[in-house]
């Protein structure tokens, strides 16, 4: 096995035999790989799909099954709830959420095609009830469809784009609808005749003398097999949140977090792509959250860091707030609440009560903060909240509450001990077509990628919204499958 490595492709000229040939070879059987396979098969291509585990899944199956959709006047669920979403608003929001290097081409294409993609998902058999669930939640507790899943209604996003809820969740009772979503996509993959090989670990890409990717080396039943791919190879292997070496190298801030979200997100596809000349970008970016917004009343509290300073408008998406916590000095932040809004956070979150007092000065002393640090922060907030606005961080009026009903408490979120889940957002640089690009911006011929193996729509931890990963992997998985199929067909 020492001849095979993710660090460089195996030479095409050294392949003594081809154990199988296909038009499109796909690595990874999560939602990205499944959608790539469906699109390629529907285009008439022969497709082989390889999965290292014993069945489909990946991070997609661990998700809530929520997909970020809208624009074009709104989906049926949006319109029924009274929201008329526009393509321009969706594109503007995605551009802001994508951060300083948002992918304008991918965003524009997705915004234009979002409604058609929604219909495509339904055509595959994915059910949507169509009901709207207002408020701030993480996932619907029952089988509702539409939720506010990002920072759409919070500053600064709300100033630039008309707010609309865009999280569309598969009809499923309780949390964790991602498994059902992948099962439905898997059934469609198999119905289309895709040759699915599980317990098949890809050891290496294969490249010819011109650096074109021509196939894969795959270990099946302990034996390496050589698979020729006439149209190309699609990497849909997920991110690298479960590879400690890659985290240390590329995203060291994540080493403070203890709850990776992934199944086998070891970065193998990214490493193979890099070995073939692909450029990996934004590898330091990641999503993280601590589920502090349940119960919802806590959103009316305010966060301060270990210096007693407020640092964000708390009505933003919980992941944006949580990601900003990691930018603060030290490992702890405090959610300040009064008796009127206090409630015990989810046990899962591992949030502790750090101090209680009859005045904010007493809470300040209990936390061991210097005099006149935390208390003035609260008094300033209260002064403006009483006037119905927040000129410092622009928290929306509906979430403003004067914190003046004692006793008062500081809830502690400790980055190293509280529940901060995370996954990576960096990966291979690709065109909207799924083609992998090298460092000069040229295509690596024969190589495609989709999902968290790429740097796609969600590429900035401070702008992430729930549903963006599944939106990215399902839609751009389709694009990769379609284009790889066209390259492999006569």
Q: In this predicted model, what pLDDT tens digit does every residue of 282-304 receive, in sequence order? A: 999 999 999 999 999 999 999 99
Task: Report the distance separating Cα 460 and Cα 361, nearest Å.
Answer: 37
Task: Report the distance separating Cα 19 and Cα 452, nearest Å.
Answer: 29
pLDDT attached to residue 3: 64
Alpha helices in 98-172 (DSSP H): 104-123, 157-160
Overall pTM > 0.85: yes
Please, are residues 240 and 44 in contact by the beta-carbon 8 Å criterion? no
Q: Residues near 72 by Cβ (< 8 Å), separated by ≥ 6?
A: 85, 86, 87, 112, 114, 115
Q: Residue 378: name the closest of 397, 358, 356, 359 by CA.
A: 359
Tell me the pLDDT band of 490, cut-offs 50, 70 and 90: low
pLDDT digits (tens, 9 = 90+) for 415-474: 999 999 999 999 999 999 999 999 999 999 999 999 999 999 999 999 999 999 999 999
Q: Which residue has the tokens 């935390």?
A: 374
DSSP-assigned letter for residue 329: S
Task: Report the distance separating Cα 151 and Cα 215, nearest Å.
Answer: 42
Please, are residues 47 and 24 in contact by the beta-carbon 8 Å criterion? yes
Listed as own residue / partner, the contacts of 347-352 with beta carbons closer than 8 Å and 24 or more positions apart are 348/291, 348/419, 349/290, 349/291, 349/292, 349/294, 349/413, 349/418, 349/419, 350/414, 350/417, 350/418, 350/419, 351/290, 351/292, 351/411, 351/412, 351/413, 351/418, 352/411, 352/412, 352/414
pLDDT at residue 2 above 50?
Answer: no
Q: How many of the other CB atoms lie within 10 Å of CB of 127?
A: 16
Which tokens hold the place of 75? 């989906």
Which tokens hold the place of 201? 């670990």
pLDDT attached to residue 263: 86
Mean pLDDT over 127-142 rounds to 94
Mean pLDDT over 313-331 rounds to 98
Q: How many of the other CB atoms lie within 10 Å of CB of 305?
A: 19
- Return the higher-pLDDT residue of 132 and 263: 132
Which helix or strand (DSSP H or E) is residue 91 part of?
Answer: helix 87-97
Q: How many of the other CB atoms lie within 10 Å of CB of 392?
A: 12
Which tokens hold the place of 275? 């070995």
Mean pLDDT over 75-82 rounds to 97
- Assign 3-class secondary structure to 372-438: CCHHHHHHHHHHHHHCCCCCCCCCCHHHCCCCCCCCEEEEEEECCCCCCEEEECCEECECCCCEEEE
pLDDT at residue 259 above 60?
Answer: yes
pLDDT attached to residue 1: 38
Q: Residues near 200 by Cβ (< 8 Å), separated by ≥ 6?
A: 50, 51, 52, 218, 219, 220
pLDDT at residue 488 above 80?
Answer: no
Mean pLDDT over 227-255 rounds to 97
pLDDT digits (tens, 9 = 90+) for 361-411: 999 999 999 999 999 999 999 999 999 999 999 999 999 999 999 999 999
Polymer length in residues for the chain: 490
pLDDT attached to residue 47: 98
pLDDT at residue 6 above 80?
Answer: no
Please, are residues 465 and 59 in contact by the beta-carbon 8 Å criterion? no
Mean pLDDT of the chain: 96
């Amino acid at each position: 096995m020492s001849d095979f490595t993710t660090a460089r492709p195996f030479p095409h000229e050294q392949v003594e035999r081809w154990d199988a040939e296909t038009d499109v070879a796909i690595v990874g059987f999560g939602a990205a790989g499944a959608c790539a396979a469906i699109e390629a098969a529907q285009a008439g291509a022969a497709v082989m799909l390889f999965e290292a585990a014993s069945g489909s899944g990946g991070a997609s199956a661990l998700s809530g099954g929520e997909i970020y959709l809208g624009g074009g006047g709104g989906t049926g669920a949006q319109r029924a709830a009274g929201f008329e979403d526009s393509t321009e608003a969706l594109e503007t929001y995605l551009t802001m959420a994508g951060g300083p290097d948002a992918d304008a081409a991918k965003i524009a294409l997705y915004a234009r095609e979002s409604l058609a993609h929604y219909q495509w998902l339904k055509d595959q058999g994915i059910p949507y009830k169509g009901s709207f669930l207002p408020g701030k939640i993480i996932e619907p507790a029952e089988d509702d469809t539409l939720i506010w899943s990002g920072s759409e209604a919070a500053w600064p996003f709300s100033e630039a784009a008309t707010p609309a809820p865009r999280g569309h969740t598969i009809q499923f009772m309780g949390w964790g609808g991602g498994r059902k979503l992948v099962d439905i996509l898997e059934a469609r993959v198999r119905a289309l005749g895709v040759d699915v090989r599980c317990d098949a670990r890809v050891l290496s890409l294969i490249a010819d003398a011109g650096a074109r990717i021509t196939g894969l080396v795959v270990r099946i039943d302990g034996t390496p097999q050589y698979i020729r791919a006439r149209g190309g190879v699609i990497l849909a292997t997920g991110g690298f949140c479960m590879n400690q070496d890659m985290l240390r190298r590329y995203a060291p801030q994540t080493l403070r977090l203890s709850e990776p979200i992934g199944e086998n997100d070891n970065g193998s596809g990214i490493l193979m792509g890099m070995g073939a000349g692909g450029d990996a970008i934004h590898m330091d970016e990641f999503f993280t959250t601590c589920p502090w917004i349940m119960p919802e009343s806590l959103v009316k509290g305010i966060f301060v860091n270990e210096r007693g300073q407020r640092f964000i408008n708390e009505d933003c998406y919980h992941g944006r707030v949580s990601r900003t916590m990691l930018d603060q000095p030290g490992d702890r932040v405090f959610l300040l609440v009064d008796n009127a809004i206090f409630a015990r956070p989810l046990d899962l979150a591992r949030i502790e009560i750090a101090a209680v007092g009859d005045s904010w000065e007493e809470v300040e002393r209990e936390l061991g903060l210097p005099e006149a640090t935390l208390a003035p922060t609260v008094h300033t907030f209260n002064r403006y909240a009483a006037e119905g606005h927040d000129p410092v961080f622009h928290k929306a009026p509906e979430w403003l509450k004067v914190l003046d009903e004692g006793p008062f408490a500081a809830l502690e979120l400790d980055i190293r001990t509280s529940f901060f889940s995370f996954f990576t957002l960096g990966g291979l640089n690709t065109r909207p077509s799924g083609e992998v690009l090298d460092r000069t911006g040229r295509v690596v011929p024969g190589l495609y990628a989709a999902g968290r193996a790429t740097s796609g729509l969600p590429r900035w931890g401070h702008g992430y919204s729930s549903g963006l990963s599944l939106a990215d992997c399902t839609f751009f998985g389709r694009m990769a499958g379609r284009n790889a199929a066209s390259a492999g067909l006569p």
